Chain A
Amino acid sequence: MTSTVDGRSPGLALPKSELLEMYRRMVLIRRFEEAAAEQYALGKIAGFLHLYIGEEAVAVGAIHAMDERDHLVTHYRDHGYALALGLDPGRCMAELFGKSTGLVGGRGGSMHFADASKNFWGGYAIVSGHLPIAVGLGLASQYLDERRVAVAIFGDGATNAGPFHESMNLAALWKLPVLFLCENNLYGMGTAVEHASAVREMARKACAYDIPAERVDGQDVLAVYEATRAALEHCRSGKGPFFLEALTYRFRGHSMADPEMYRSKEEIEEYRRQRDPIVLFRNRLTQEGKAEAAEFDEIDREIDEVVAAAVRFADESPDPDPETVTDYVYAEPVRVS
């Protein structure tokens, strides 16, 4: 497993501005998600809300390694990826509020963020259902000789479903540039990995398709960045797909409705205390002399303002226009009735 916590990390050679930007985006995700939980409690957000708290290093590390032209499709726990991509927090929050100014105009909600201008083709909410779509994006890249990689984000739970296996086989068969990035957070909703998967190490599933695989510490943003960069390089060079398993942990329940009967308070507490990706990264940068406390504190303060402004923007934005409810069912006009 790739981990840089105790060793040297090439990622540390990144310019300080980039390192601090990675820190900044992780804090942004954390605070954004905390604010979303508050707004949910206030009734401003409804339906499903799956928080990314605890897993920030995976999205930020992976996105930082990606090229702007690379394709991205994710699971429904997608806020972190949108924010890591640099999408406007106000528009993200407005989507949660179901407002017209949301990323997708209030039509998608928490699970269906997207921004075509960033090649972010959406968050998908049928577990593993988006993996074939990633394969198709990889096929388009190969067909058009674009050297873009299609990155698919999914959880451990998705690896037990048929679409995962059909996708892995097809991607390997046709040597498509697809990065399968599995966030193993140890639970598929409320079912622990060992109760759902015959194999506990997700990366081992890749060998059935001759897809090279690696495991990485998903709480270490530099480790994720480095592993993703190497994996993307593999895919981009025409060698076919790659499977990366990031070991991570979600600090909050599966969704806002989760009473968390399936895991102990002690387990959660231990992860929060010892494996918080933001704390780990901040300590690392401090130890390495990359930045000082005041610089982190300044970022933290700025993010508080950004998130407060995002909530204000969402709150003050208008609802979608009722007149538009039937817009976009079809791309081409419909004349018959």
Chain B
Amino acid sequence: MAREITYRDALREALREEMYRDERVFLMGEDIGAYGGSYAVTRGFLQEFGPKRVRDTPIAELGIVGAGIGAAIGGLRPVVELMTINFSLLALDQIVNHAAKLHYMFNGQFTAPVVIRTAAGFGQLGATHSQTFEHWFAHVPGLRVVMPAVPKDAKGFLKSAIRGNDPVIFIEHSLIYRNRGEVPDDEDFLLPLEGAEVRREGTDVTIVSWSRGYYLALGAAEELAREGIECEVIDLRVLRPLDIDTVVRSVQKTNRLVVVEEGWRTLAMGAEIAAAVQEKAFDYLDAPIARVASLEVPMPYARNLERLVVPNKDRVVEAVRQVLYQKQPVAVG
């Protein structure tokens, strides 16, 4: 059995179910309790589970992530919420130098199974509150970096992250919390924290994206299908470990690749994917790989300027035409 629910409710279900299943699971973060969570994911949880398990914290990202690591070492299953991914920069030392390394550096003696939930997104929020840094985390061995696009993945990944023994960076997106999708009823519905998924089959061009970018890719694919161009759309879902083989298999079929990402393109996931694909499928490529990304500027506040910066469906369509040589190459960000 499955029900259609929102991305937000999928997260709420995952957290509630895991908290009922395991007393050691607790939540900690800025304004997750009395305020109800900046994106309302934990609304009502304080009343339901009490202040021991739903802990409002000071605005001290480094401290709360570090405390999450320590609590995990001490036998708990912490889910730490960082209000937005912009603030995760304050906790980078804890994530990169500590969470990611303990298991290896101490020779497998112990691990720090902390789940760090945070949200990317934009919407006239200005330069410091509109960023996305999934590729920063995906750079680091030892972290699992998950960025689900659909409710089913949001739920299955979050439950697996809580039950698993690795530190997980779980990145949501402020503009897809209301998106709906089918989610299995099973309280033990888990998804392995790896593997991309082909969500739309096609023969002409492969479009790879994740999180909100997946919806842009899908929109572009539907538009192009009306002209007889069949795009294969891959939701990457997990950025580390990276399932490049699924992308390569698709490129071997379509011979053309477009990557859609919301961050700046320099040294980002698209660059990594393009490099890996040319290593593994050089002879299959019929066109240079195209990347659709944000313009390389700090995010401006003004509505018209912001729209120029972030990727949209039209730019994905344009990139697909470019790799099909339907028009002269144009700058795509």
Q: Which of A85-136 contact B (CB under 8 A)?
A: 103-105, 107-108, 112, 114-116, 121-122, 124, 126, 129-136
Q: Which residue of A lies closest to B91 (CB)?
A: A132
Size of the chain B interface, CB-CB below 8 angstroms: 55
- Which residues of B sit under 8 angstroms from A337, Cβ to Cβ? 241, 243-245
Q: Which of A133, A162, A328 contacts B73 (CB 8 A)?
A: A133
Task: Give residues of chain B (7-34) contacting chain A, Cβ–Cβ below 8 Å.
Answer: 24, 26
- Chain A proximity of B233: nearest CB distance (Å): 19
Q: In the bound complex, what is the Cα–Cα distance between A140 and B76 (angstroms)? A: 6
Residues A133 and B69 in contact in the complex (CB < 8 Å), given A143-B26, A144-B76, A336-B243: yes
A9 to B130, CA, bound (A): 60
- Whether B164 is near chain A, meaning CB under 8 Å from some CB there, is yes
**CB neighbours of A173 from chain B (8 A):** 58
Q: Does A224 contact B (CB under 8 A)?
A: no
Task: Say yes or no: is B311 at the interface (Cβ < 8 Å to chain A).
Answer: no
A328 contacts which of B24, B70, B108, B195 (Cβ < 8 Å)?
B108
Asked whether B39 is an interface residue with its Cβ less than 8 Å from the other chain, the reply is no
With an 8 A cutoff between CB atoms, is B71 at the interface? Answer: yes
Tell me which residues across on chain A come within 8 A of B111, comparing CB atoms: 331
Chain A: minimal CB distance from B139 (Å): 13
**In the bound complex, do residue B71 and residue A336 qualify as a contact, i.e. CB atoms below 8 Å apart?**
no
A132 to B108, Cβ gap below 8 A?
no
Q: Are A330 and B166 in contact (CB under 8 A)?
A: yes
How far is A337 from B276 in the complex, measured between Cα atoms in Å? Answer: 10
Residue of B nearest to A163 (CB): B62
CB-CB < 8 A to B73: which residues of A? 121, 133, 136-137, 140
Interface centre among A173, A174, A329 (most CB of B within 10 A): A329
**Which chain B residue has the least Cβ–Cβ distance from A73?**
B70
Q: How far is the CA of A337 from the CA of B24 in the complex (A)?
A: 33
Q: How large is the interface on A (under 10, 10 to 19, 20 to 34, 35 or more residues)?
A: 35 or more
In the complex the two chains form, is B65's CB within 8 Å of A132's CB? yes
Interface residue from B94, B106, B113 paired with A112 (Cβ < 8 Å)? B106
B105–A129 touching, CB < 8 Å: no
Flag whether A195 is at the interface (Cβ < 8 A). Answer: no
Give the CA-CA distance A105 to B105 in the complex, in Å.
9
In the bound complex, residues from chain A placing their C-beta under 8 Å from that of B72 are: 136
Whether B89 is near chain A, meaning CB under 8 Å from some CB there, is no
Closest to B101 in A: A112
Residue numbers in A under 8 Å from B195 (CB-CB): 335-336
Q: Which residues of B contact A121 (CB under 8 A)?
A: 70, 73, 110
The B-contacting residues of A in range 321-337, CB under 8 angstroms, are: 327-332, 334-337
Q: What residues of A have a CB within 8 angstroms of the CB of B109 in the complex?
A: 104, 114-116
Interfacial residues of chain A within 151-203, with CB under 8 A of chain B in the complex: 162-163, 166-167, 169-170, 173-174
- Contact yes or no, A136 B68, CB < 8 A: yes
- Cβ < 8 Å to B, chain A residues 137-155: 137-141, 143-144, 150
Residues of B within 8 A of A166 (CB): 58, 60, 62-63, 66
Asked if A254 is at the interface (CB within 8 A of a chain B CB), the reply is no
Instruction: Indicate the member of A327, A330, A334 with the most B CB atoms within 10 Å.
Output: A330
A134 touches B70 (CB 8 A): yes
**Within the complex, which residue of A107, A126, A139, A329 is in contact with B67, where a contact is CB–CB below 8 Å?**
A139
Judging by beta carbons under 8 Å apart, are B74 and A136 in contact?
yes
Q: How far is the CB of A226 from chain B (nearest CB, A)?
A: 27
Q: Are the CB atoms of A330 and B144 closer together than 8 Å? A: yes
A71 within 8 A of B: yes
CB-nearest residue of chain A to B55: A174
Instruction: Establish whether residues B70 and A139, one from each chain, have CB atoms under 8 Å apart when the complex forms.
Output: yes
A interface residues with partner B (beta carbon < 8 Å): 71, 73, 103-105, 107-108, 112, 114-116, 121-122, 124, 126, 129-141, 143-144, 150, 162-163, 166-167, 169-170, 173-174, 327-332, 334-337
Q: Known pairs A331-B166, A336-B195; list 9 more (Cβ under 8 Å).
A: A73-B70, A108-B107, A121-B73, A133-B73, A136-B78, A137-B70, A150-B74, A163-B93, A329-B103
User: What are 29 residue pairs bridging A and B, where the CB atoms are less than 8 Å apart in the complex?
Assistant: A107-B105, A107-B106, A108-B106, A114-B106, A121-B70, A130-B66, A130-B98, A132-B67, A132-B70, A133-B66, A133-B70, A133-B98, A135-B63, A136-B73, A136-B78, A139-B70, A139-B76, A140-B74, A144-B74, A166-B60, A167-B67, A327-B104, A331-B103, A334-B241, A335-B194, A336-B244, A337-B241, A337-B243, A337-B245
